[in-house]
A = this chain, B = another copy of it.
Amino acid sequence: MTLAQSVLAGESLALARLLTQVENDSPEGRAALNELFPHTGRAHLIGVTGAPGTGKSSLVNRIALHFRKPPAGTPRRVAVLAVDPSSPFTGGAVLGDRVRMRDLAGDRGVFIRSMATRGSLGGLAHATAAMAQVFDAAGFDVVLIETVGAGQAEVDIARLAHTTLVVESPGLGDEIQAIKAGILEIADILVVNKADLPGVEHTERALKSMLDLAHPVEKVFLHHGQTMTIHAAGAEIGPLWVPPVQRTVSLDGSGVAELVEAIDLHAQHLRQSGEWGRRERARLEAELESLITGTLVAQFRLRVPEARYDEIVERLLRRELSPREAVEALLG
């Protein structure tokens, strides 16, 4: 039995081993990804991002618990992929896992995996996508991808997700968190965690007014979180989603049921509007293009001897060749 087959058969140890190979981009990992890919496409990928101190990790635990023990309906299998592009310490990630495991210990329907920085940002987004595919193929209904902050890495990783949660909390300098590069554009749901702290109304208000600025047209027609068909100048432009602002307290789990409801509503919205398919397509095309570029560059490196490349760089630095002439010299 191949490692991929063991993963499809539900073996946890095989899953853990395969994730390591995929993270390291080993030949075995690549082969297994090929084998698993036909089994992907069913999981709901949920990105959760937010600054340190917002209680994001506990919230992710609460969401996972809620999926596992819903008040009604069938429990869903949950994978958590915690990505920390800023941390150079794998140790921290491991410790984090132990703390997490307490709540969910012994539950074979939950799998938690941490990833520290490895290589370039592109590499990180790539490895995250691949690991999410493994969870998807392994039959997890939900993959929670947790990232820290709001840098380019988070935005790249958020592009993988069907639904992206941006977590804020009162008293952290709310405007700072939310105003950051592109964070409002990637948020499908905004969460004000630690909603038992003073200042929650202020945070919520600040977020809502920023959302209104970001969605000026829909504001007229919609309440946050509702979807409806908008007619612009008489033409139907399709249902729109205005990110709702949800309050939660990860300490006692308040608001988590409503948050999961909003998550499910968003998935439903994506499917009904055709956006699910469009995001899927955009994601796979982007992955294909990034792999093509990487492969072309790798082939180039094999084709052009290093000494030749260095010689051209030296001539460029001596300004005997312009950058474009250097490219012509190298690519013919």
A317 within 8 Å of B (CB atoms): yes
B-side contacts of A284, CB under 8 Å = 313, 316-317, 323
Q: How many copies does the complex hold?
A: 2
Known contacts A176-B179, A300-B296, A322-B33; A327 and B291 CB within 8 A of each other:
yes
Interface size class of A (residues with CB under 8 A): 35 or more
Q: Is the CB of B281 within 8 A of A317?
A: yes
A34 within 8 Å of B (CB atoms): yes
B-side contacts of A296, CB under 8 Å = 293, 296-297, 300, 331
CA A299 to CA B300, docked complex, whole Å = 12
Q: Is the CB of A38 within 8 A of B176?
A: no
A319 within 8 Å of B (CB atoms): yes
Known contacts A182-B151, A313-B288, A317-B281; A327 and B295 CB within 8 A of each other:
yes
A287 within 8 Å of B (CB atoms): yes
Write the A289-328 contact mask toward B (1 if CB under 8 angstroms, else 0).
0011101110110000000000011001101111111110
CA A324 to CA B284, docked complex, whole Å = 11
Write the A211-251 contact mask toward B (1 if CB under 8 angstroms, else 0).
00000000000000000000000000000000000000000
A265 within 8 Å of B (CB atoms): no
Q: Is the CB of B287 within 8 A of A323?
A: yes
Known contacts A181-B151, A181-B181, A297-B293; A33 and B280 CB within 8 A of each other:
no
- Candidates B293, B299, B324; contact of A291 at CB < 8 Å: B324
- Candidates B38, B175, B176; contact of A319 at CB < 8 Å: B38
A201 within 8 Å of B (CB atoms): no
A261 within 8 Å of B (CB atoms): no
CB distance from A201 to the nearest CB of B (A): 20
Which residue of chain B lies nearest to A290 when distances are taken between CB atoms in the complex? B323
A70 within 8 Å of B (CB atoms): no
A98 within 8 Å of B (CB atoms): no
CA A40 to CA B322, docked complex, whole Å = 10
CA A179 to CA B291, docked complex, whole Å = 33
Q: Is the CB of B300 within 8 A of A288?
A: no
A30 within 8 Å of B (CB atoms): yes
Which residue of chain B lies nearest to A130 when distances are taken between CB atoms in the complex? B323
CA A221 to CA B255, docked complex, whole Å = 51
A2 within 8 Å of B (CB atoms): no
CA A152 to CA B153, docked complex, whole Å = 11
* Interface contacts beyond A38-B320, A291-B327, A292-B327: sample of 11 additional A-B pairs, CB < 8 Å, sorted by A: A37-B323, A176-B176, A180-B180, A284-B313, A288-B312, A288-B316, A292-B300, A292-B330, A293-B297, A295-B327, A295-B331
